[in-house]
Every structure is written in C-alpha cells, then in structure tokens.
Structure 1
Amino acid sequence: MAITSANQLELLQTAEAVAREKMIDPGLVVEAMEESLARAAKSRYGAEMDIRVSIDRKTGKATFTRVRTVVEDEELENYQAELTVAQAKQYMENPTVGDTIVDEVPPVDMGRIAAQSAKQVILQKVREAERDRQYNEFKDRNGTIINGVVKREEYGNVIVDVGSGEAILRRNEKIGRESYRPNDRIRCYIKDVRREPRGPQIFLSRTAPEFMAELFKMEVPEIYDGIIEIKAVARDPGSRAKIAVVSFDNSIDPVGACVGMRGSRVQAVVNELQGEKIDIIPWNEDQPTFLVNALQPAEVSKVVLDDEAGKIEVVVPDEQLSLAIGRRGQNVRLASQLTALDIDIMTEEEESARRQKEFEACTKLFMDTLDLDEFFAQLLVSEGFTNLDEVAYVELDELLVIDGVDEGTAQELQARARDYLEAQAKAALDAARALGAEDSLIDFDGLTPQMVEALAKDGVKTLDDFATCADWELAGGWTTQNGERVKDDGILEPFDVSLEDAQTMVMTARVLLGWVDPEELTANEEEDLDAVEGDEEGEV
C-alpha cells in the first residue's frame, strides 16, 4: 500500500470514523497512524534511522522525514541518526551541537507484513486512548451513584454495563441475597476506579454507607442544597440502618425533611435498599446527647463518657435492656458505628451493684493501707477519693472540708498515704531488679517502679527492649478477627497509659538511643500539623 494522493483523504476519513466509533479524539488516531507509518518506513530505510511521519490534518498528505542530530566527534555512535559538526556544515551554516537536520525522504510502499504491523500499532494506540478516556470519565464520577444494566453474573459477582464500559458488583457488595438476571436495571455506588493494564476497573457497591447518603441526597432537596447535612451513616445492609442529620436552618426539621410527607422520601430509599429499615436521628455536637438519640427507640437513664479511652457507658432501665441492645446486638452496634465510640450498656440494677462494689473496694483499700476504721474510710470514699495518690498529693484544703478532719488529721492521712506509696514503689523496684530490669529502663522518665516491674515481667528489661515496643503493646487496643472486635491487653494498660502517651514514650526512648534524629522528628510533626491544618481549611 503506497500513500498516494488517491488515498490521502481516506486516511483522515478513517481516523474520524474510528474516533467517532470509540468516542476518542481524532487527533489521537492520526498520531497512531503517523507512528505506524514511521515504523513501516524504518523497516524500509533501516531501523537505526530516525524516520518521522507527519500527516496534514486538512489534506491528509503524509510527509516522511529523516532527522539527524549534531553531536560531538567523540560522541558519534549512530551514523544514520547523528552527524558531527564538520559533516553538518554541508547542510547548514554555523551548526552547533544539538541542532537537528531534517531531510524529506520518499514515501514507502507498504507490503502486506508492513501494513499488518501498521494496523496493529493503530489498534493498540486506539485501545490505549479508549482506556484512558474511560478511566478519566469514571474517575471523576467516583463517589457517585450510577445506573446500569446487568450483563451477566460470574461466581456471584455481577457484571454491569454502565454505558461506555463495564463495572463489577462483587458478591460482598450486594445487599443480602439479592440476585439479578441479564438486562435487569440496577443502581449502584461507584466505590473505586482503578487504572490497570487490562483497562480501567470500576468497582460498584450497594452496601456502602455512602450509597445510602447519596440516595437521600437525590430524594431530599434540602440535602442537595446544603441546608441539611448528613453527619454519619451506619448500616447493616438489607436489615437496618441509622443516619444522623443536622439542619443549618432553624425553621427546617432535619428528621421531618428526610422522612417527607407521609414518609414518601424515606420510603423511596427503603424500597431501593430492599426494605432496609432506616432510623433518622438528629445529630448533636454533645456526644452523650447524640448517643441517647442514636440508641432510639430505647430510653437511656444515664450516660458516662470517658474521652481518653473513647468509651461510653450507658445505663438503661431493666425493661429497656433488650431494646437498647437490639436483635443480635444490632442496635448498639449501629449506634457505636454512628458515634465512633465503644459503648457499654448496663441496667440500672447492674450499675447500682457495680457502684456498690467499687465503694466497698475503695473503703477496704483505705482501711487496709491507712489503718482507718470503716466509718472514716467510707467518709473518704463518699467525698470522691478513690485511690491513695489522691489522698497523698491532694491540696490539704480538700481534706479539711471533710466533717471531723482538722489540719493535724489531714497531715497524718497524707503522711500515711505517702509512706505506703513509697514502700510500694521500693518493693516494685526491688522486684523489677530481681527480674533483670536494667538502670536504663528504671531511670527512664515517665515510668513508675510499678510500670517497670510490669514491663520486666513481660520480658521488657532494657531501654532497647522498650524502644522496640509498639504503642498498642503498651497501651492495649482492639483488633478485628472474623468480623468481631477483639481486645488486646497492653502491658501498661492497668496504669491508664493512653495510646498517645505510649507513642510519646516509645519515640522518646528511640531518640535517647540515637535511633531517631530529633530534628527529623520535629520536621515530620510540623509537616503533619500543616497537613491537618490544610485539610481543615479545605473542609471549610
């Protein structure tokens, strides 16, 4: 096949036809043709030559050129694509290194093999352009809802035709046991779009919490307009869900707006989610208040929040316990996901028994350690004292407010408490040394003798050992196994060491040992702070 005037326009017509069919830029098809013709020309003139082809976008005329680069004499390697400064003087005045000399060469006649090779290059380029177009199109739609048509089902995964490509709805992203047949219409949430060698992969979901949020955005104009905001969503797909909403307009009830007239708005979402029951909850900045709302329809008597541990205790009437927990723990689990807190639920009777047990334990502690009678020990506990440290190091005035306690009695109480604590610390230190704890660990700032003893019992006996510990090994934490949260006990957890405290102590140990450069650590902290501030500004 020769590129002659008879088929010059045919090149452009072919490029436009392919571009329309694949919905890509005609220029990309023409570039593919130029590359394929250049490759064919190299097979004719020599692979070492730098042959380039340019197709006129108006006339379709293909121009073949040979490009040579001017190089230093000692760098001349490819005689077909390079030439020296002296050789270049035959073609131009005052040539310099880096200049290029372009000569037009005659068009080539493409034989059958060359034509087939050119066709493969064009097809490959078109496929790559089509994949890029699909990726760019769906990448911008990531996080939105899309309508599609079911093509087939493979091993429980549903292949969905989404117009200009195919997407996959995995088995674990379907609601319950829903099944689809070919040509069924389906609505899904675009969860992820990945660029892969075989083309863009589009992953759909119907179980994602974001799917429900987007459905409400479609059904409730106030959410779309930003008057109402969805703060959190928790789902047990196909069974039950909780969604927290807040209104920025005092005249609009966020719950009522989401429910709609006679429940029309929420019912549309329920129908799409295969009858999933939805609790719409008013969001509140006060976490205990928000939790009370989240545990509806159960009534809550009292809430105790532990900010440091991220835990919350909820007390409910005895007859409300099963309602608060829900079937198979569903209600409390969804409330926990919604509030991002660990929730402990107990009845009023259980809470009363626990408080009585704690009261008795504290009373016995003061009786045994401070040599007090039961009445006086109970008096201390009633005033809010729960451990010896509080008695030993509290301001003297706080002890003087107790009935029957004068200054001398208060000083004697503190002296007894301090003596006992010092004896306990010495005993713990002796036990730690007996277990092999070294001075490098004992002298480390932030560790009490009791902590050192606990570490030594667990095999952590040197500062090096301590520096290799993970924060969760010291402070404890939670892991998920087989879909259930499992508690990991920390070595220092009995001493109320938080994850942040554990991180700080471990990093300090690494700095002292020279494992970490403190300047780099400070720089990283500043970068993290800047990133957080940037995110907050972006959110605003």
Structure 2
Amino acid sequence: MENLALIDSFSEFKDDKQIDRVTLMAILEEVFRSALKKKYGSDDNFDIIVNPDKGDLEIWRNRIVVADGEVEDPNEEISLSAAQKIEPDFEIGEDVSEEVKLIDLGRRAILALRQNLISKIHEHDNTIIYKQFKDLEGEIYTAEVHHIRHRAVILLDDEGNELILPKEKQIPSDFFRKGDNVRGIIESVDLKGNKPTIIMSRANPIFLEKLFEQEIPEVFDGLITVKKVVRIPGEKAKVAVDSYDDRIDPVGACVGMKGSRIHGIVRELGNENIDVINYTSNLNLYITRALSPAKVTSIKIDEEKKRAEVILRPEEVSKAIGRGGHNIRLAGQLTGYEIDVIREGAEEDVELSEFSDEIEGWIIQEFKKIGLDTAKSILEHDINDLVKRTDLEEETIRDVINILKEEFEE
C-alpha cells in the first residue's frame, strides 16, 4: 500500500516502546479516524482494518447507491453510474464498500497524520511511565547521575526514564559526580503537559524509614514497627520503634552490636546522627526518651495545650537542647508536644523570653541555641565564654547582662 513508511515508522516505535497489540491497534485506528473525519466530515461509515503484525492497514468507505443526480451527501451516498464503475451489477439501495488509499487523503494530511501518530505514541508511553512511577511513590529507587544543574540533579534509570533530585530534596552534604548511583525515594509524580515529572528525595523522613525496612530484617519482616521518623537532613534524626514481641528489643535490633546495623544507614545519610528510641503510649516516658541523651528530672504535661514542662539539672540542659536546638526540636516533632526546658532550682529565675521588649528576638534565639534560656543561666557565665559560644558581639552581650542584672537588683 502507499506510504508504507508511515506504518514502518510506527513499527519502530512499537518495538522500541513494547506497545501491546491491542493498544497498537487502538492508537492506529484513533489517528486514522481523526484524519478521515477532517477530510470527509464524518468517520461513522468507515471500516478500518489494522494488522500490526504484518505492518499493514486497510480503510473501507461504505456508501448507499442512489439514482444519478440524487446524491445529497457524497460521503454517505454514491450515484448508480459511479457504483457500476466499481462493479457493473450494483443496483439502487445496495451498499458499496470502496477502499480508501492513503494517497486519497492528500500529502499534507498524510504528513499531519504521521505527526499525530508519533504524538499519540509518546503520549501513551508517558502515561505508562506515569502509572509505573505513581505506584512507586514512597519507595526507594536508584538512578544514575546524568546531568548536574545549579538547583537540581538530573538522573536516568536503566530504562532511560528521567528523575529530578532538587537541591532542597538533597542532604546538605550530598556531592554527586556524573555516573554516580543515587538512592532516594520517589516523592511525587505529576503529569505536566503529558510529560511525567518524577521527583526524588533524600531529605524526606520516609527515606530513612524505608532504609530501616531495607537494612534491618526484623523491620522488613514486620517484627519491629517504625512508629515515627523525624529528621533534620544530614544533621540529626529520631526514630521511634516498637515490637509486639516482648522477646525482641527493638532498639537493640535496629542499632546492632556496636552500631553495626545502623552504620550503613548513617553513612548513606551523610553521617546523620540517628537516635533510635523505644515507642511507648506512656506520654511522660515517651517525652523523656525523646529528649535523650539528656536525663530528665520531672515532667509536667498540659494535654490540652500540647505542652510539656521538663525539669532538668543545669548540666543536662544543653544536652536536651542539643547543637543548634536540634535535639529539643526533634523531640517536640516526635512526641507532638511543645517542650519547655526548666533548670532545677530555677524557680526564682526568669525566662529569657520575658525580656522580649528590651532584648531583640534574634539575640534571645542565639542564647537559646547554646541552652541558655533564662536570666540566671546567662548571668552564671563569664562574658568571654559567652562570646566564644555564640555569634554575638561582646558589646551586645554586655548590654544583655546589664538588662538582666537590673531585673534581680530590683
């Protein structure tokens, strides 16, 4: 048949994309019916026979024979004399089936048809990819670094599918070279203009949860349950685990002898510090464990306001808060409670936040970062020590100390 290159080119796509026979026939028929409708006004009276195995296609137009001069719709009707040129014994009222050659559609229509065909194939391919990766959302996936951009790394998997690892979804210490294999979770899959956009993340807490499933057999088998994961990517994470089997120590099983089991996970996450704690429904105990490695003296809980007031010995406060406030922030996220730290014997002390009218908020935050959140906790320290431990100027610290001293002198 004419223009077999059209079908041949389609066959190449078929072999490359592994389109099944039923889908192949449906796409071909859809494309040709669109072309017929454009040329003849309707495709209702056309039969399209597709044979993708042989790479050929037939189009037949069905019309009714009417008397000469009575043809009202040339697409639906054919005059008796025209019908008898096809076959001499046709009579009025009979159906005539006539093959339509591709060349009859016209050169421009054939070119447009080919472009439409290619477009439909790509659209089908993209839909398959979208569905495939949509089913993988939240799962670990590995792909190779193909291109490194300023705000994202472009990855390709073994099938040539493109994945995007944005800068904000990376661990701060991540450093990639072209050809590196990268692990992360499929965080989201969206269709943007028929093209699937696949976003990978290494910063999502689910990535850490899935690494536990992958690296720790008891988690994979369901003997240990990961109840909750909170992270500051590349810095610190807290993972609450539980087991319904009293014979299993969930924390010990996850960490392993001398940290052997968790070491691979820590290395994957750029040496992120991971605290694994035993989950419990006892809220006091859960908050106490969440603040590890600090040792808590006592806790007062306001369930209505979702706040916990934690009393600690002075030497435990900095441990509870942690570097950059990471420990107390993650403990709050893990338990769902806002945690206020109070030093033992600080009943007559005044919280630093009470001085917000006289001391700027960012200065108060600088002191809180090193575990100093009350007036007395700052006054107990030498000025030179405070200069070394904070990012504050000596003059700023002296002004703060003078304000705090006035409070107690009154």
- Structure-2-length-normalised TM-score: 0.72
Asked whether the 8 Å contact 1:48–1:80 carries over to 2, the reply is no
Assess, with a 3 A threshold, how the Cα gap between structure 1 residues 60 and 123 changes in structure 2: closer, same or farther. closer
Deviation by residue 1:121-150 (Cα, 9 ceiling, x = unmatched):
210110011001100110000000100001
Specify the alignment match of 2:41 in structure 1. Answer: 47
Deviation by residue 1:66-119 (Cα, 9 ceiling, x = unmatched):
4689xxxxxxxx946779xxxxxx759xxxxxxxxx863322142543332221
Question: What displacement does 1:277 show?
Answer: 0.9
1:135 aligns with 2:143: no
1:313 aligns with 2:306: no
RMSD: 2.9
Match of 2:289 among 293, 318, 340: 293
Give, in whole Å, the separation in 2 of the partners of 1:79 and 1:177.
72
Match of 2:97 among 91, 104, 113: 104
Give, in whole Å, the separation in 2 of the partners of 1:67 and 1:262.
81
Assess, with a 3 A threshold, how the Cα gap between structure 1 residues 49 and 285 changes in structure 2: closer, same or farther. closer
Match of 2:241 among 239, 242, 245: 245
1:407-422 matched pairs, under 5 angstroms: none
- Identical amino acids, percent of aligned pairs: 33
Assess, with a 3 A threshold, how the Cα gap between structure 1 residues 317 and 91 changes in structure 2: closer, same or farther. farther
Code of the residue aligned with 2:127 in structure 1: it is D
Assess, with a 3 A threshold, how the Cα gap between structure 1 residues 228 and 351 changes in structure 2: closer, same or farther. farther
Question: What displacement does 1:213 show?
Answer: 0.5
Code of the residue aligned with 1:319 in structure 2: it is E
Code of the residue aligned with 1:346 in structure 2: it is I
1:20-35 matched pairs, under 5 angstroms: 20-35=15-30
Specify the alignment match of 1:201 in structure 2. Answer: 197
Specify the alignment match of 2:175 in structure 1. Answer: 179
Asked whether the 8 Å contact 2:21–2:52 carries over to 1, the reply is no
Give, in whole Å, the separation in 2 of the partners of 1:63 and 1:129.
23
Code of the residue aligned with 1:170 in structure 2: it is P
Question: What displacement does 1:53 show?
Answer: 1.9
Assess, with a 3 A threshold, how the Cα gap between structure 1 residues 68 and 256 changes in structure 2: closer, same or farther. farther
Code of the residue aligned with 1:309 in structure 2: it is K
Match of 2:228 among 202, 221, 232: 232
Give, in whole Å, the separation in 2 of the partners of 1:82 and 1:307.
78
Give, in whole Å, the separation in 2 of the partners of 1:295 and 1:275.
20
Specify the alignment match of 2:209 in structure 1. Answer: 213
Assess, with a 3 A threshold, how the Cα gap between structure 1 residues 162 and 68 changes in structure 2: closer, same or farther. farther
Code of the residue aligned with 2:98 in structure 1: it is V
Asked whether the 8 Å contact 2:36–2:43 carries over to 1, the reply is no
Question: What displacement does 1:279 show?
Answer: 0.7
**What SS class does the counterpart of residue 62 from structure 1 fall into?**
strand
Give, in whole Å, the separation in 1 of the partners of 2:182 and 2:315.
43
Specify the alignment match of 1:262 in structure 2. Answer: 258
Assess, with a 3 A threshold, how the Cα gap between structure 1 residues 53 and 106 changes in structure 2: closer, same or farther. same
Assess, with a 3 A threshold, how the Cα gap between structure 1 residues 311 and 15 changes in structure 2: closer, same or farther. same
**Which range is displaced more, 128-137 or 29-38?**
29-38
Assess, with a 3 A threshold, how the Cα gap between structure 1 residues 57 and 152 changes in structure 2: closer, same or farther. closer
Give, in whole Å, the separation in 2 of the partners of 1:148 and 1:182.
11
1:340 aligns with 2:336: yes
Asked whether the 8 Å contact 2:60–2:100 carries over to 1, the reply is no
Asked whether the 8 Å contact 2:61–2:100 carries over to 1, the reply is no
Assess, with a 3 A threshold, how the Cα gap between structure 1 residues 174 and 49 changes in structure 2: closer, same or farther. closer
Specify the alignment match of 1:2 in structure 2. Answer: 2
Specify the alignment match of 1:188 in structure 2. Answer: 184
Specify the alignment match of 2:324 in structure 1. Answer: 328
**What SS class does the counterpart of residue 310 from structure 2 fall into?**
strand
Give, in whole Å, the separation in 1 of the partners of 2:96 and 2:258.
80
Equivalences, count: 326
Gaps of 5+ in 1: 70-77, 84-89, 93-101, 355-483, 485-540
Code of the residue aligned with 1:133 in structure 2: it is I
1:359-508 matched pairs, under 5 angstroms: none
Question: What displacement does 1:37 show?
Answer: 3.5
Question: What displacement does 1:191 show?
Answer: 0.7
Give, in whole Å, the separation in 2 of the partners of 1:68 and 1:139.
47
Give, in whole Å, the separation in 2 of the partners of 1:351 and 1:292.
21
**What SS class does the counterpart of residue 253 from structure 2 fall into?**
helix
Assess, with a 3 A threshold, how the Cα gap between structure 1 residues 109 and 230 changes in structure 2: closer, same or farther. closer
Code of the residue aligned with 2:18 in structure 1: it is M
**What SS class does the counterpart of residue 305 from structure 1 fall into?**
strand
Assess, with a 3 A threshold, how the Cα gap between structure 1 residues 40 and 350 changes in structure 2: closer, same or farther. same
Asked whether the 8 Å contact 1:235–1:241 carries over to 2, the reply is yes
Deviation by residue 1:364-397 (Cα, 9 ceiling, x = unmatched):
xxxxxxxxxxxxxxxxxxxxxxxxxxxxxxxxxx
Asked whether the 8 Å contact 1:15–1:26 carries over to 2, the reply is no
Specify the alignment match of 1:149 in structure 2. Answer: 144
Question: What displacement does 1:35 show?
Answer: 3.4
| Higher RCO (C-alpha 8 Å, min separation 6) | 2
1:117 aligns with 2:145: no
Asked whether the 8 Å contact 1:232–1:244 carries over to 2, the reply is yes
Code of the residue aligned with 2:122 in structure 1: it is R
Give, in whole Å, the separation in 2 of the partners of 1:170 and 1:57.
42
Deviation by residue 1:281-302 (Cα, 9 ceiling, x = unmatched):
1111111111100101100011
Give, in whole Å, the separation in 2 of the partners of 1:139 and 1:299.
44
Give, in whole Å, the separation in 1 of the partners of 2:93 and 2:302.
84
Assess, with a 3 A threshold, how the Cα gap between structure 1 residues 234 and 161 changes in structure 2: closer, same or farther. same
Asked whether the 8 Å contact 2:312–2:344 carries over to 1, the reply is yes
Give, in whole Å, the separation in 2 of the partners of 1:230 and 1:66.
65
Gaps of 5+ in 2: 65-71, 78-91, 351-364, 366-410
Question: What displacement does 1:60 show?
Answer: 5.3
Match of 1:18 among 13, 16, 24: 13
Assess, with a 3 A threshold, how the Cα gap between structure 1 residues 103 and 233 changes in structure 2: closer, same or farther. farther
Deviation by residue 1:293-315 (Cα, 9 ceiling, x = unmatched):
01011000111111111111111
Match of 2:275 among 276, 279, 284: 279
Give, in whole Å, the separation in 2 of the partners of 1:265 and 1:341.
30
Asked whether the 8 Å contact 1:68–1:82 carries over to 2, the reply is yes
Assess, with a 3 A threshold, how the Cα gap between structure 1 residues 226 and 109 changes in structure 2: closer, same or farther. closer
**What SS class does the counterpart of residue 350 from structure 1 fall into?**
coil
Give, in whole Å, the separation in 2 of the partners of 1:114 and 1:286.
74
